Amino acid sequence: MYPGPHTRPLWAALLVFVLLLSACGGGKKTQPSQASASNIAVIGDQQGATPFIRFVQLRGDNLALLTAVHYAIAPKPGSVSKPVDVSFDAGALIRRGNLVAASGTLNLPVFGLYSGYANHLAMDFRFQDGSTRSLPLDITTAAYADPNGIYDHPTIVKARAAGSELGFDFFAIKSGYGTPVVIDTDGEIRWVGTGVANSGSAAFRDNGFVVGDPNSLKLTRLELDGTTIENSLVSSTYTTFHHNIDPGKLGLLAELNAVTGGVANIESTLVEIADSGTIIKDWNLAALLASYMQSQGDDPGTFVRPGADWFHMNAATYDPRDNSLIVSSRENFVIKIDYMTGEIIWILGDPTKYWYSFPSLRAKALNLQAGGLYPIGQHGVSITSDGLLMLFNNGAASFNQPAGAPAGEPRAYSAVVAYAIDPVSRSAQEVWRFDYGQSISSLICSSAYEAPGKSLLVDYAYTVNGTQARLVGLDASHAVVFDFQYPSPTMCGSAWNSLPVPFDSMWFH
């Protein structure tokens, strides 16, 4: 039934009103999301310092409203390693100068690319209203040839199998020929930087590498986007970095050579430093041990021998459970000292070595329960997730004891060993060991570090008379997951020490 003449004006008005409401979405205006209004797009890209690094240029509206950016690099077909997976919050990008909201530009650093390959990226952008926008991108990189002919020529002794459980997918090798080299568990190089000639003294900290110069007090921070920041320790006592840099209580624990009163303190000084090079605290093990031995009636003169490599410090770790440091002396023992006072808490080492002949040192010795391996020539001390002392047990007797003094027991193979320490009963118990069937000897250098899930990365730095290095990944049951072999043209040059790095789950805050 159509409306009659007397009702048509009212009906027409109602019809116009309904049409207006319909045009306005029923009276409720829908705003586009920040992501959909951003029109963000890739406008170019630029290669970074090496083929593994790229800068992707993007432009769009609403970039001032970004909260985070994420990208993932698809693994090659047949790869077992997880994708490189990296997130930045907007504040990190702004501080780095990558995000300039006023001009609507974003210069996104992408690292972990395969070289000589068409890499597929998935990029995601999150905005303040919770909306997201995704962009795919293909980046074809230049080929990379290792100038040393080492890291791009691994011998795959055992490849990682599909479905194998491992708590890490990427690891960094500290190299004597340049920056650390990041390798995935398929044996592919995924990162090399520039800016340092030797990265033996290096740590991975706050998503970057901190490297000490073996010839000076220069400290270089290598960002994963290829940029570098240089600082230097200001000191009239310390001279050069050597061996490891490890996580400390407040900063980084670095081994430094020093000169005191015109006499060289060779590899017997530990210093905690900030990334800026500021010295936080130091421990002179020569002075600490000499003072303690004298207080107990021993003459330290033939044991503590400044000017000689009598101690050979090569690693240290901070133990927050009792505010202490555990220090590795390759020539003698592993020693635990109080962080604040330097007081000796305990000593764990081979009792057939020279140090055990001094009553004062013997009084601090832990008794190792029967069947355990004493640390001999050890490297890479650390504390595992379940509180054990873990180290790479090289098996090399001492090299620099006084003439006629006992150098200790040699061992024909190397092992990774974990100990439970009871400071009250002054005892140590070997909880587990991995010795690869006693098939590998790595007399010097080397390391072993735990990854999530109790997986291990083991670095045999000096095998086949020092001509080869072996990098081995172990699952939680200590089964070998992968085994890669690299040539080593110089002593420990290829892989002095190595550690897992989380390229599969990295967040820049």
**Residue 6 pLDDT > 80, yes or no?**
no
Q: How far is CA 316 from CA 12, 180, 181, in A?
A: 88, 20, 22
Mean pLDDT of 457-486: 98
Alpha carbon dihedral 353, 357, 360, 366, in 10-degree steps, equals: 50
Helix (H) or strand (E) segment spanning residue 93: helix 90-95
Q: How confident is the model at residue 28 (pLDDT cuts 50, 70, 90)?
A: low
Sign of the alpha-carbon dihedral angle for 51, 52, 57, 58: positive
* Strand pairing report for 367-368 and 389-393: unpaired
Q: What pLDDT does 102 receive? A: 87
Query: What is the 3-state secondary structure of 223-246?
Result: ECCCCEEEEECCCCCEEEEEEEEE
User: What would the pLDDT profile of 234-246 be if each residue is shown by its tens digit?
Assistant: 999 999 999 999 9
**Residue 346 pLDDT > 80, yes or no?**
yes
**Residue 21 pLDDT > 50, yes or no?**
no
In the block, residue with structure tokens 């624990």: 253
Sign of the alpha-carbon dihedral angle for 463, 355, 426, 255: negative
User: What would the pLDDT profile of 306-325 be if each residue is shown by its tens digit?
Assistant: 999 999 999 999 999 999 99
Closest by CA to 210, choosing from 177, 241, 239, 165, is 241
Q: How confident is the model at residue 5 (pLDDT cuts 50, 70, 90)?
A: very low
* SS3 state of residue 305: coil
* Alpha carbons 81 and 84: distance in angstroms, whole number: 9
Q: Where are the alpha helices (DSSP H) in 2-45?
A: 8-23
Residues 242, 201: contact at Cβ < 8 Å? Answer: yes
* Alpha carbons 105 and 440: distance in angstroms, whole number: 53
Structure tokens at 323: 């505010």
Of 3-7, 148-152, 168-172, 489-493, least confident by mean pLDDT is 3-7
**Residue 18 pLDDT > 60, yes or no?**
no
Exposed/middle/buried for 435, CB within 10 Å: 0-12, 13-18, 19+?
Answer: middle
Cβ-based neighbours of 77, under 8 Å, separated by 6 or more: none
Closest by CA to 499, choosing from 74, 228, 199, 158, is 199
Residues 316, 325: contact at Cβ < 8 Å? Answer: yes
Query: What residue ranges define each of the domains in the chain, with the CATH number in brackets?
Result: 41-140 (2.60.40.3100), 155-508 (2.120.10.30)
Q: What pLDDT does 261 receive? A: 86
8-state DSSP, 94: H
**Residue 288 pLDDT > 50, yes or no?**
yes
**Bridge partners, residue 460, by sequence:** 470
* SS3 state of residue 356: helix
Mean pLDDT of 201-229: 97
Structure tokens at 365: 């010795």
**Residue 494 pLDDT > 90, yes or no?**
yes
* SS3 state of residue 126: strand
**Average pLDDT across the chain, whole number:** 94
* C-alpha of 495 from chain center: 14
Alpha carbon dihedral 22, 28, 33, 38, in 10-degree steps, equals: 70
Helices (H) and strands (E) in the chain, counts: 4, 35
Residues 276, 250: contact at Cβ < 8 Å? Answer: no
**Bridge partners, residue 265, by sequence:** 258
Task: Provide the CB-side half-sphere exposure for 433 (13 A, CA).
Answer: 18
Of 22-26, 293-297, 484-488, least confident by mean pLDDT is 22-26
**Bridge partners, residue 456, by sequence:** 450, 474
Query: What is the 3-state secondary structure of 343-398?
Result: CEEEEECCCCEHHHHCHHHHCCECEECCCCCCCCCCEEEEECCCCCEEEEECCCCC
411: left (phi over 0), alpha (psi -120 to 50) or beta: beta
Q: How confident is the model at residue 30 (pLDDT cuts 50, 70, 90)?
A: confident
Mean pLDDT of 32-54: 95
Q: What pLDDT does 3 receive? A: 42
User: What would the pLDDT profile of 403-424 be if each residue is shown by its tens digit?
Assistant: 999 999 999 999 999 999 999 9
